[in-house]
Chain A
C-alpha cells in the first residue's frame, strides 16, 4: 500500500487541473502558455499546491514578454524552495537579464534573485549584485541597494565578506535621492537585525546627505530617512538645531507616516535645543497633529494613540483643540474610545464646561460600552479639575436620574472615587441609596457599600441597608463580599450599639460558610482585631485610618516606559503603549536564550575572525534552526508553498502541538479589548496577558492607592483580571514546557 502511494506521488496525473495547466505550459502557442501561467498563479493564490508544475513553468522563463517574465518570476519566488535543484536552471536567465540593456529588466532580475531563498542561487548572486550596485541607471541601483539587505538576511557572511555593506555606505552619497533612501533603508534593516555590524553609522557627512535627500525622495523614503535621523544621537546642540530646522517643514506633508516620523524626529532632538526654540517646535507640531484626526479612521487611530503619548509628556500642546476630538456619530468605536481619553487629558478649567456638556451627550447614547466610558470620563474630570467637581457631580446626578440601569451603575462607581477626593459631597448620598435595588453589578454594589460604610455615622439607616446585604451575603460576588465585610465592621466601630448582631452574623457567614480564602482571611483578621481587648483603639486606628487621597484616576504610563515609547512614535509599540519586546519576540523566551548561547559560542570559536561571528549572530535561521518555528507559534505550517522544505524540518510538528496546547495569545489593541466592559484597567489586563511579570507593569493610581488602604479600599482590578491572567499564564507555561 505504502509503496503504491509513494509511486502515485511521483507519476504525473493524467487528467484534472494540473494536467491541463501542464499541457498549456508546454503548448506551442505563446498566448496559450501565457494564459496557463496566469492560471497557475491564480491557483497558487487560492492556496492550491501547484509546485509540481515547477519544471514546466521554468521552461517559459526565457521570453521577451516582460509581463510573462514577471509572472514566471513570481511563481519562482513562491516555489523555489520546493525545487532547490531546479532553480539552477533559472540562474542563467537571471544573470543574463541582469545585463540586459533595458534597466527595467536588469532591476527585475536582481530584485527577483534576492527573493529566491535557495543556497545555490545565493552563490550566483555576487557578480550581478556587484554590477547592478554600480549600474548607470538609478532605478537599478536603488533596487540593488535593497537586494543587499535581502542577501544579508540570507547569508550575512557573504554580504560582509564581499564588502557589500561598504558599497551601500558609499551609496548614501549617491546623487539620486531614491538610491540614498533605499541605501539608508537597507543599512537600517541590517543594523537592526545585527547591531554589531554597525551598518548605519551617521556622521556629519552622511547626515548632510540624508538631509539633502529628505526633500527630494519619495514619501516612503522620507519616513525611513526621518526615522534614522530620530535614532541618531547628535554630538552638539548645533547639530540638533540643524536637524529640527530641516525636518520641521515635513510636518506639512500629506502622508501621515511622514508627519508622524517628522514629529518623532523633532520631538527627540528638541530636548537638546534651547527651551524657547523647543517650545516653538511644540507649537508648530500641534496643527499637523490635529489634522491627522481628520484622516482615515485607521490612520486616525494610530495618530490618536500617539497623541495620547505626546500629551502624557507635554500636556499643554493641544489644550486649545478640544473640539477637534469631539466624537462623530459614525466614528468607529475604537476611535471614539481614544478620543474620550484624549479629551480628558486636555481638559482644563477653561474648556471643562464644553467638555461636560459633550460627555453628558455621549452618556445618553445607546452604545453601552461608550456610555460607560463617557460616565467614567466625567469622574476623571471631576478628580482632575477641582473647581469643576461640583458641576461634574451635578451632571452625574442628572445621569442617575435617567434611571438607565448601566448609566446609574457606572455613575455610582465613579462617585465613589469622587468621594475619596472630595469627602464633602455627602449630601447626595440619599439619592444614591435610592438606586440600591437597581444595582446588579458587583462593582457598583461594592462601590455603594463602600460609600455606606465610609459615611456610616451620617446615614441613619445604614444598619438596615447593610443588613439587607448581609442577608444575601453568600449570593454576592467575592469583591462585593469583601466590601460588605469592611463596611459592617466600620459601622460597628462607629456605632457599636446598632451593629452588634450584624457584625457577628457577617463574620460567621464569611468564616464558616464561605470558600473564598480572601474573604475568609479578611473576616478572621477583623475577628481577631475586634476581639482584641487590650487596646480598644487599635482596631479603629487600623480600619478607620485616614486614606491617602486620590490624585488622579487618569491612566498614565510610568515615566521610563513613556520615554521608551516616545522614541518609538508611530510604530506598533506606540499604538499598543507597550515596549516592542513584549509583542515582537513573544513566545521565544527559550529560543532567545538558545540563540544567545549559540552566538557566544560562535564568538569564542572565532575570536580572531569577527566577521564570521557577526554573521553567525545575524543568521538566526542557521544558528538556531528551531527559532523560526518557535517564534511563529501560529504558523502551524504544513507549508503548502514549500512541501519539500517543510518535511525536512522536524520541528514543524512540534509547533503544531504547541498550537493545540495553548490557545493563541491574543493581543487586541486596548480599545478592542474593552468589550469586557471592565473598569480603568483594561490595559493592565492586557499587560497581564503577556504574563511577563518582570516588565514594568503600570497600575492605575487608583488601584495602587487601594492597595495602600489595605482592608478598606476597593479592589478595582479584581474582576476580569485574574481569570484572564490565569488562562494566559497557563498557555505560556504550556509553551514554555515544550522546551
Chain B
C-alpha cells in the first residue's frame, strides 16, 4: 500500500523520511519539493508523476506526504494522514515543524508501530501511549515481559481500546453534545442551506468493563418502537419514509446520518438503532451526526452594504439573538469583509467593539457576551483608495463565530445513558450542550 511517509516544512526541507517499501527512494523527497512545494500552481492534493503518487495534506506549517506506487486506496491514505496529525496532537499537543523537529525519534517510533509494510495498524492514541511514550520512565513498563504481553493482548484484542483493570473510586461519565451549525444565507435573506454537524464527546471514568447504552430523542428510534408493533414494514427503508411523513413528532429530531466510534456495535445500531458500546477510558468522540431538518438558527443577521461610487462603502449590520433570554452566547465575533483597497474605516456599535483588520480585509466586531433576544447594530464606513485597475469587489460573505451553552440547534437531547457492569456499581452522569458556529455565512 503506502510506500513511504514524508514530512516537510514550508521551505521544503525534509523533516521525516520513512520508507516502508524498497520503491520509496530518497530522491522522491526532492521531486515532491520541486513539483509541489515550490510549484504554486499545484492545487490538487493528489499528484501522480510517472508511477509515483504523492498524496499530501497541509497542517499548520508542515506538509505530510504519503507516497504510493500502486492504485492505492485514496480515501484510506488521507484518513491515515489525518490520523497521523491527530496522533501528533495527542502526543505533542500540536503537530507543527517545531514539534516534529523536537520529537523526530518518537515520530519514527510511532510510524514504525502504526504502519507495517505500508499497511496501517492500530492507530488508537490511548493504546499506543501504553507502550510508546515520551518520558523514559514509562517505557520501562514495556521492557518487562509480563506487562508488555498484557499490553499487546489488549492492542490486538476485540476491545483494543480498553484496558481491563481500570478502577475508579467514583464512577462518572460526562457527555458533551457539541453542535456546529452551518448556515448559508442569500443576499435576499433566504436560507440556502442550514445544517448541523454534531458530535458527542464522552469522558468516561468507569470501573471495569462497563457496557453502556445511550439514548437520544432520535425520531427514528422513537418511531420504530411504535411502527414495528402496529405496522408490518418489510424493509427498513420503507419504514424510514413512512415515519418521516406520518409523524411530526414534538421534541424529537431526525438524524440524517450518524457515524460512530470504533467501540460502538454497528450491527446493533443497524438492526434496532440502539447505541451500545464498551467505552474507552477517558475522553473520546462517541459519535458524529448530521441533521438538516428544523434547524434553529441562534442568530439572525441583516447586513445592508452599499457601495457609494468607487470611493466609499457603507455598512449597517444588525444582529439579533434568537434564543431564550435566559441563555447567553459568548465570544460572538462577526467578520465583515471590506474591499481590498480599503484605506480606513470608521465604526460605531451599540454593543461590543469593532476593529478593522487590514491583513484580513475585515472589520471584526466582537461581542463578549450576547444575551438572548437582544439585538445590536453596527454602522461602519470604509473609505477606499482609488486604483488604476478598478476590479470588481467579490463581496465575500459575512461570517459569524460564537459559542452558546445549553442550546442545540438541532433540538437534540440525551434521553439516557445506562451503564451495566458486573459489579453493579452506581455511576454519576453529566450532560452538557453547546452550539458553535461552523461555517455561518451570510451573503450580501
Stretch at the interface among B163-171, B346-354, B391-399, B425-433: B391-399
- A31–chain B nearest beta-carbon distance, Å: 10
Contact A301 B22 (CB under 8 A): no
Contact A41 B148 (CB under 8 A): no
Given the complex of chains A and B, what is the CA–CA distance between A301 and B25 in angstroms?
Answer: 28
Contact A254 B288 (CB under 8 A): yes
Known: A219-B262, A220-B121. A572 touches B148 (CB 8 A): no
Contact A223 B51 (CB under 8 A): no
Which one of A323, A632, A664, A671 lies within 8 Å of B193 (CB-CB)? A323
11 more contacts with CB within 8 A, not counting A323-B193, A568-B71, are A71-B105, A102-B149, A139-B156, A220-B80, A297-B45, A298-B78, A571-B74, A572-B74, A583-B71, A633-B50, A669-B46
Which one of A287, A404, A631, A634 lies within 8 Å of B257 (CB-CB)? A287
Given the complex of chains A and B, what is the CA–CA distance between A390 and B394 in angstroms?
Answer: 27
Contact A284 B237 (CB under 8 A): yes
Specify which chain A residues have a CB less than 8 angstroms from the CB of B52 in the assembled complex.
632, 634-635
Contact B152 A287 (CB under 8 A): no
Specify which chain B residues have a CB less than 8 angstroms from the CB of A291 in the assembled complex.
256-257, 259, 288, 290
Specify which chain A residues have a CB less than 8 angstroms from the CB of B14 in the assembled complex.
45-47
- Report B394-407 CB contacts with A as 1/0, cut-off 8 Å: 10110000000000
Given the complex of chains A and B, what is the CA–CA distance between A542 and B15 in angstroms?
Answer: 66
A586 proximal to B (CB < 8 A)? yes
Within B417-444, the residues touching A (CB, 8 Å) are 439, 441, 443
Known: A107-B152, A583-B51. A249 touches B157 (CB 8 A): no
Q: Which residue in chain A gives the minimum CB-CB distance to B48?
A: A667
Interface centre among A101, A103, A107 (most CB of B within 10 A): A103
Given the complex of chains A and B, what is the CA–CA distance between A296 and B197 in angstroms?
Answer: 13
Given the complex of chains A and B, what is the CA–CA distance between A178 and B153 in angstroms?
Answer: 11
Given the complex of chains A and B, what is the CA–CA distance between A257 and B72 in angstroms?
Answer: 12
Specify which chain A residues have a CB less than 8 angstroms from the CB of B28 in the assembled complex.
634-635
Specify which chain B residues have a CB less than 8 angstroms from the CB of A299 in the assembled complex.
75, 78-79, 82
Known: A257-B73, A366-B392, A571-B72. A102 touches B145 (CB 8 A): yes
Contact B394 A365 (CB under 8 A): yes
Stretch at the interface among A19-27, A324-332, A490-498, A530-538: A324-332
- Report A94-124 CB contacts with B as 1/0, cut-off 8 Å: 0000001111100100010011010000000
Interface residues on B, range: 35 or more
Known: A328-B439, A334-B43, A634-B49. A366 touches B391 (CB 8 A): yes
Given the complex of chains A and B, what is the CA–CA distance between A146 and B149 in angstroms?
Answer: 20
A276 proximal to B (CB < 8 A)? yes
Specify which chain B residues have a CB less than 8 angstroms from the CB of A357 in the assembled complex.
186
Stretch at the interface among B89-97, B111-119, B375-383: B111-119
Contact B266 A250 (CB under 8 A): yes
Contact B256 A287 (CB under 8 A): yes
B211 proximal to A (CB < 8 A)? no
- Report B60-104 CB contacts with A as 1/0, cut-off 8 Å: 000000001111111110111110000000000000000000001
Specify which chain A residues have a CB less than 8 angstroms from the CB of B197 in the assembled complex.
294
Given the complex of chains A and B, what is the CA–CA distance between A302 and B153 in angstroms?
Answer: 35
Given the complex of chains A and B, what is the CA–CA distance between A299 and B73 in angstroms?
Answer: 11
Q: Is the interface of A mostly helix, strand, loop or mixed?
A: helix
Q: Which residues of A contact B (CB under 8 A)?
A: 38, 41-42, 44-47, 64, 66-67, 70-71, 74, 78, 100-104, 107, 111, 114-115, 117, 137-140, 142-143, 146-147, 149-150, 153, 176-179, 182, 185, 189, 215-216, 218-220, 223-224, 227, 246, 248-250, 252-257, 259-261, 276-277, 279-280, 283-284, 287-288, 290-291, 294, 296-299, 301-303, 306, 323-324, 326, 328-330, 332-334, 354, 357-358, 361, 365-367, 404, 568, 570-576, 580, 583-588, 628, 631-641, 664-669, 671-672, 675
The 4 lowest CB-CB distance pairs between A and B, nearest first, are A139-B152, A672-B44, A287-B257, A580-B71
Q: Which residues of B contact A (CB under 8 A)?
A: 13-17, 19-23, 25-29, 31, 35, 41-53, 55, 57, 68-76, 78-82, 104-105, 108-109, 112, 116-117, 119-124, 131, 136, 139, 142-145, 148-149, 151-153, 155-158, 160, 184, 186, 192-193, 195, 197, 234-238, 240, 256-262, 265-267, 269-270, 285, 287-288, 290, 292, 391-392, 394, 396-397, 439, 441, 443
Identify 30 residue pairs between A and B in the complex whose beta-carbon atoms are under 8 Å apart, listed by A's number. Answer: A46-B13, A47-B29, A64-B143, A66-B139, A103-B149, A149-B117, A218-B121, A220-B119, A220-B123, A249-B269, A252-B260, A253-B262, A254-B260, A257-B75, A257-B79, A260-B75, A261-B73, A298-B78, A299-B75, A324-B195, A366-B391, A572-B48, A572-B68, A585-B51, A586-B50, A637-B25, A638-B27, A664-B50, A665-B49, A668-B44
Q: Which residue in chain B gives the minimum CB-CB distance to A114?
A: B117
Contact A67 B256 (CB under 8 A): no
Known: A248-B270, A257-B73, A635-B25. A42 touches B50 (CB 8 A): no
Given the complex of chains A and B, what is the CA–CA distance between A70 and B186 in angstroms?
Answer: 57
Specify which chain B residues have a CB less than 8 angstroms from the CB of A636 in the assembled complex.
27
Given the complex of chains A and B, what is the CA–CA distance between A456 and B200 in angstroms?
Answer: 66
Contact B142 A104 (CB under 8 A): yes
Specify which chain A residues have a CB less than 8 angstroms from the CB of B123 in the assembled complex.
218-220
Given the complex of chains A and B, what is the CA–CA distance between A636 and B119 in angstroms?
Answer: 26
Specify which chain A residues have a CB less than 8 angstroms from the CB of B117 in the assembled complex.
114-115, 146-147, 149-150, 189
Known: A150-B117, A323-B192, A668-B47. A294 touches B290 (CB 8 A): yes
